[in-house]
């Protein structure tokens, strides 16, 4: 058992929310039931006053948490190879491979990144979600940070909420995008298909910036930077502007083959078996020094083959 202390300020977008709802948004690494138990126990205050979970918070309110943190979920350590980019006493930086689910859940009770991390460092069982600060989808590859201490975890979660941590991706999308741009709207659960996310009128603000790396005849290689980190954000935003990520099984699978594509290009695209999305860069302040550090992971082999195939096709067509 360890002590968990955190102080956060309520942003404008959470004004008017119930205390438990606001804290669930501000502390996504903790379950709603855990947060509600803290509130009931008097371990949460708002402007030094104890609130009930249904009480509403206002923009600028200071929420303080001071509680004993017990490990609720127990997961088995599994000997799964990890590609470690960097490690020290505070953090682990990994290059997540394709096909690895980050956290156990329905349909994936084990064989996840959490199980691999517990095998790599068994002290991570004392940290929420084994120290994982942010997630990547199962078939998205690339750089992730893991906190090795509760202090580092609290520090990094707060910096993520403050949008200090910079996450950059590369993706290949359908259609030609002429120039870079930004997408800003609200995202939430799809009103009908609840396992999907969608652009909605009442969701949370989501902002994505993108630049063109290279245009192909029917596809575009993009550099993407997240300002916010909503679930499936890049995939939803690219689909929203009618340029879904190649191979995306949820937001654009049937749109990956563009009209006018011949059999050779069709083969290149159909041979790519996942969404073409890679987290290639992560910049964050170090928990011990607050100094900015940056880590990168080169494109995985399957995306290199995809891009080379698109290049060769374009050259052959000239």
If phi > 0 it is left, if psi is from -120 to 50 it is alpha, else beta; for residue 48 that is left
137 noted as active-site residue: yes
Checking DSSP bridges between strand 141-147 and strand 166-174, what pairing results, if any?
Answer: unpaired
With 0-12 / 13-18 / 19 or more C-beta atoms within 10 angstroms meaning exposed / middle / buried, residue 291 is exposed
Q: What is the DSSP string of 220-285?
A: EEEEEEESS--TTHHHHHHHHTT-PBTT-TTTTGGGSS-TT--HHHHHHHHT--S--EEEEEEEEE
Distances (CA, A) of 3 to 46, 50, 132, 250: 19, 19, 18, 40
Using the CB atoms, write b or e for 1-15: b if 16+ within 10 Å.
eeebebebebeeebe
The active-site residue out of 20, 61, 90, 137 is 137
- What is residue 90's DSSP assignment? S
Using the CB atoms, write b or e for 68-85: b if 16+ within 10 Å.
ebeeeeebebeebebeeb
Tell me if residue 131 falls in helix, strand or coil: helix
Checking DSSP bridges between strand 2-9 and strand 62-69, what pairing results, if any?
Answer: antiparallel
Query: Could you list the active site residues?
Result: 137
């Amino acid at each position: 058992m360890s002590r968990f202390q955190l102080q956060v300020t309520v942003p404008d977008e959470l004004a008017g929310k119930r205390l438990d709802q606001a804290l669930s948004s501000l502390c996504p690494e903790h379950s709603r039931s855990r947060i509600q138990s803290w509130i009931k126990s008097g371990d949460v205050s708002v402007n030094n006053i104890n609130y009930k979970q249904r009480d509403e918070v206002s923009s600028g309110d200071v929420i303080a948490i001071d509680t004993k943190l017990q490990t609720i979920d127990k997961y088995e350590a599994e000997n799964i190879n990890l590609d470690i980019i960097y490690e020290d006493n505070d953090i682990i930086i990994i290059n997540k491979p394709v096909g690895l689910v980050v956290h156990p859940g329905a349909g994936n009770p084990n064989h996840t990144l959490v199980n691999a991390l517990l095998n790599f460092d068994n002290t991570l069982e004392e940290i929420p979600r084994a120290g994982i600060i942010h997630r990547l989808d199962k078939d998205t590859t690339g750089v992730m940070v893991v906190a090795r201490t509760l202090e580092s975890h609290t520090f990094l979660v707060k910096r993520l909420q403050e949008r200090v941590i910079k996450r950059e991706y590369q993706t290949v999308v359908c259609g030609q995008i002429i120039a870079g741009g930004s997408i800003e709207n609200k995202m939430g659960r799809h009103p009908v298909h609840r396992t999907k996310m969608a652009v909605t009128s009442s969701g949370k603000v989501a902002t994505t910036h993108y630049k063109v790396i290279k245009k192909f005849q029917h596809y575009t290689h993009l550099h993407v930077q997240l300002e916010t980190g909503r679930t499936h954000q890049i995939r939803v935003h690219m689909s929203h502007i009618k340029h879904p990520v190649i191979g995306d099984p949820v937001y654009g699978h049937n749109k990956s083959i563009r009209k006018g594509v011949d059999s050779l290009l069709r083969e290149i695209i159909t041979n790519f078996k996942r969404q073409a999305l890679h987290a290639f860069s992560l910049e964050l302040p170090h928990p011990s020094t607050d100094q900015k550090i940056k880590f990168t992971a080169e494109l995985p082999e399957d995306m290199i083959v995809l891009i080379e195939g698109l290049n060769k096709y374009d050259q052959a067509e000239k």
